[in-house]
Structure 1
Amino acid sequence: MVAGHKGNPEAVARKGREGRRNRLRGARGRGTLEKEKPPVFGMIQRCGLVVIQMLANVRRVTIEPLVKSTVLPGTLIYTDEYAIYNRLTEWGYKHKSVNHGAGEYARDEDGDGFHEVHVNTMEGFWSLLRGWLRPHRGISQEKLPFYLGFFEFVHNVGKRGKALLHSLVELLVK
């Protein structure tokens, strides 16, 4: 996500540069908070709930606690070919990946005609999120976690259905 310091000229001045005009592109590569392209990490259960979070960087020490606190050990996790996911087996998970760089987007491993190895569920979620953020025409880094949290909540409400009502009433009573 491209998220600068929209509406916060003091934060831009601290960076020691002029504000961006006409959405100038940043440097290529993985994003960081410093590059004003904070990484957003997401995990989704097929046909289920999603967890998304803005990160300062994409490193093992940042991702490992998120995965371990969200996913049960022994779970089969599907990812793309990014090297950090190679450690999933060390962390106690089963792991299969698709290689987008080689043009592979789905794979049928057992020959039943169903391509079970893919990350299309998460890719589809990213597409929905980008489409939802686009009308905002730029987002402040400080506010991005709130946008992400709201979108995650809305997505998960649709998946939880009536079970959510009980949880909300319980929270209100407390």
Structure 2
Amino acid sequence: MNHENRVTDPNPYGPIEAEDIERFEKTLPSKLPGDYRDYLLKFNGGDFEKTCVPANKEKEDTYSISEFFALYRGPEASRLERNWDLAGYYDLADFSHLTKAYLAFAMSGTGDVFLLKFATGEVLVYLHDSVDYAPVEGPRGTLVRLAGSFSDFVSRMISKRELLQDTVESDPDFAARLEQLKKDSGLWD
């Protein structure tokens, strides 16, 4: 794991053992990528200090994680066992044959889902608002590749403060509006 992006709340509903992961993997179409498996063993759904993931170096599109799913007996809405299947998560049972290649492991505050591709370990985000139904192919949403692995994904995360700073530096109009807001509100010194 990236030491620059530490986990702030490890094991929010308790730690797990390797046997718990093995039991879960028996319900999956494939084994979990090793780095994600290590994260579950050490942190099991723990949140990271930095939660924003840019889609590219320009940071034009950045996605924010609100919650990581975990293996536990905690709230059902946060259980990895319940949410890993994209077809189940979005009630797309008729198209589950298309979604079994991915494991949903986290979500954004807007309902987008972060996925691990079983075959390659790549991390993608599924933009649910762009879903389009084709009669034969089924649902087509936008899949955006974010990283080649879970470890790479974690290392690419930035803080909301870093994202704001990058926006201020790259957009003079935004910077001017922000400065005016600071003056008008009196909240920032």
TM-score bracket, shorter-length normalisation? 0.3 to 0.5
TM-score (norm 1): 0.36
* Larger relative helix fraction: 1
What is the TM-score of this pair, normalised by structure 2? 0.34
